[in-house]
Amino acid sequence: MSLATASRVLNGSTRKVAESYRERVEAAAEMLGYTANLSAQATARGTSAVVGLVVADIADAALGQLAAGVARGAEEAGLVVTIAVTGRDPLREVAVVRALRGHRPRGLILGASRTEGPDATDLQSELEALAGTGGRVVVLGRRTSGLRAVGTDERAGAAALGETLARLGYRAAVIVAADEGIRTFDDRVAGFSDGFTTGGGTILDVRRAGFTREAGYASAQALIDEGVTAGTVVVGIRDVVAIGVMSALREAGRRVGEDVAVAGFDDIPFAQDAAPGLTTVRVPLEELGYRAVRAVVEPEWDAASPLLPVEVVVRGSTPPRA
């Protein structure tokens, strides 16, 4: 029989083929352990069954959860996910998008990245080129430019955290963040400041230290040297930095919670297991990743699709102030 017939039975063609043929083909394929060459399929079809994921660091707890959601969505959609890590380097970011572009992916999911600066326009043109070959770009975070986006309501969540802490009796806060320019994190700073000051608190300082545990650790050490007053709450821009803060405090003999309170963002698994538990705002990272691939796959996309809600989780790291 012809190759065409075989192709029709093995690959999702809508066309009908006689049962007898179908059986024979399937039997043969099974016997030979045949698997379609997806590259050839991709060249013939002009599009491949892959979705790219670009993140800063795949070992990061939060981004790992995100990736897990992406993997789940991709599996469900019959796509494979290829990942590329940028280390938060804008240059590498455009480089990896370029590399991924070579695969003519069905879509590309772009983790929180800088939205301005000279490299941002390079990125922009890479993304346009990608779109030009039929790939759908979805960015994580609030909608920007004409791309599809899935995001969480960071601003509202951060404000809620600020209000909650104020209500618990905190009056002074220090935020440990990184340089401005990443929308998600800028929203957190702004939202928290809003909520906290509205509740009657004061933002003592916004430190631009970085996104890592080490950034938190170092910042907390500095804070201690400068003599943080008891009853201050240090909020890390991500749970990992908050964890670093907690460790530094503990090592310096401060009691987390009683002496200095700590809060974060993301609700990574360890936030629950830290001692005391870390107060944080829970971001549905896994769900976000899943939705991102839905956004790639769905033919129609509602530009006004709502931000996912986030939720503040109060734990022992911010006990009520007497």
- Told to check if 253 binds its own copies by CB under 8 A, we report no
Taking residue 92's Cβ as centre, other Cβ atoms within 10 Å add up to 17
Binding mask of the shown chain, residues 203 to 242, with x at each position contacting its own copies by CB under 8 A: ----------x-----------------------------
Among 23, 27, 28, 43, binds DNA (CB under 7 A): 43
**Strand, helix or coil for residue 175:** strand
Distance from C-alpha of 306 to C-alpha of 301, rounded to nearest angstrom:
12
* 252, interface contact from DNA, its own copies, none, CB < 5-8 Å by kind: none
**Strand, helix or coil for residue 221:** helix
Of 39-47, 106-114, 135-143, 203-211, which part binds its own copies (CB under 8 A)?
Answer: 39-47
Nearer to its own copies, 129 or 230 (CB): 129
Contacts of 87 (CB under 8 A, 6+ apart): 56, 57
- Told to check if 80 binds its own copies by CB under 8 A, we report yes
Total chain residues near DNA (CB under 7 A): 25
- Distance, C-alpha 114 to centroid of its chain: 13
Distance from C-alpha of 203 to C-alpha of 217, rounded to nearest angstrom:
20
Please list the alpha-helical segments (H only) found in the chain: 3-10, 19-32, 38-45, 61-77, 90-101, 118-132, 154-167, 183-198, 213-225, 239-251, 269-273, 285-297
- Told to check if 24 binds DNA by CB under 7 A, we report no
Assigned token pair, 30 = 């099974």
Binding site for its own copies (CB under 8 A): 33, 35-40, 42-43, 48, 50, 57-61, 64-65, 67-68, 71-72, 75, 80-85, 98-104, 125-126, 129, 213, 243-244, 246-247, 250, 269-270, 272-275, 286
Binding site for DNA (CB under 7 A): 1-5, 7-8, 10-11, 13, 15-18, 20-21, 34, 36-37, 40-41, 43-46
